[in-house]
Amino acid sequence: MPGSMTSQRFEVVAADSSLTFFALSTAQSAYGKTTELTGFIDAAWNVDGSLAADPAPRMHVEFRVDSLRTGNDLQDREMWKLIDSRRFPKIAGDLRQFSPGSVRGRYTAAGQITLAGLARAYESEFRLERDGKRVILDGELQIDVRDFGLKPINLLVLSVAPLVRVKLHLVAARSV
């Protein structure tokens, strides 16, 4: 491959992006969402439209803890308190490495998530497509809140499992 390609910056479009989470609980499944995502994807593309390895793609996504909503005010307050949102108001994710998957448009990514002041390494598969001046990324991973020193919510008759499934739908538009 001749020389290095030029990376392009794509800024997260909050209105079209979302992060949802699901956890099992004694009462019912705990579900929540935020649409207040910010961040970017820096990437270069091969002639065939796939993500180029050089320069390595980078991604940063973050959101405020208090933007996570379950639809239940008590649950929201307990979740924010659990994460200690006053001391650690943001959750962030950073892509550090990727490798092409076995199916076109799918990749394995490795990076870190910073939650409650602790950064932990994670790896997951994601789908990425470029549509003109937009990039669409869909990924899912399972997080154990205990990895971040957190104890799962346990309120009277409601207790929430420590494993949380997180789905990210990210739309980013080319920066001018």
4-47 pLDDT per residue, tens: 678 999 999 999 999 999 987 766 677 899 999 999 999 999 88
* Strand duo 38-43 + 8-12: pairing: antiparallel
Residue 1 falls inside a structural domain:
no
Q: Is the pTM of this model over 0.85?
A: yes
**What residues have CB less than 8 Å from 102, skipping those under 6 apart?**
none
Residue 81 falls inside a structural domain:
yes
**What is the average per-residue pLDDT within 50-62?**
92
Residue 62 falls inside a structural domain:
yes
pLDDT of residue 156: 59
CATH number for the domain harbouring residue 128: 2.40.128.110
Residue 101 falls inside a structural domain:
yes
66-96 pLDDT per residue, tens: 999 988 888 888 889 888 999 999 999 999 8
pLDDT of residue 57: 92
H or E, element range at 30: strand 30-34
Residue 71 falls inside a structural domain:
yes
15-25 pLDDT per residue, tens: 999 999 998 77
Instruction: Categorize the per-residue pLDDT at 65 as very low, low, confident or very high, splitting at 50, 70 and 90.
Output: very high
* 134: its two tokens: 């937009």
Residues 47 and 39: their CA atoms lie apart, in Å, by: 26
User: How many angstroms separate the Cα of 142 from the Cα of each of 1, 102, 122?
Assistant: 36, 21, 9
Residue 86 falls inside a structural domain:
yes
Please give the backbone phi and psi of residue 122, each rounded to the nearest 5 degrees, phi first.
-140, 155
Per the structure, the complete domain to which residue 160 belongs is given by 8-174
Asked if residue 3 has pLDDT above 60, the reply is no
Residue 160 amino acid letter: V
Residue 18 falls inside a structural domain:
yes
Instruction: Categorize the per-residue pLDDT at 1 as very low, low, confident or very high, splitting at 50, 70 and 90.
Output: very low
- Would you call the peptide bond into 55 cis, given omega within 30 degrees of 0 as the criterion? yes
- The number of folded domains in the chain is 1
Residue 2 falls inside a structural domain:
no
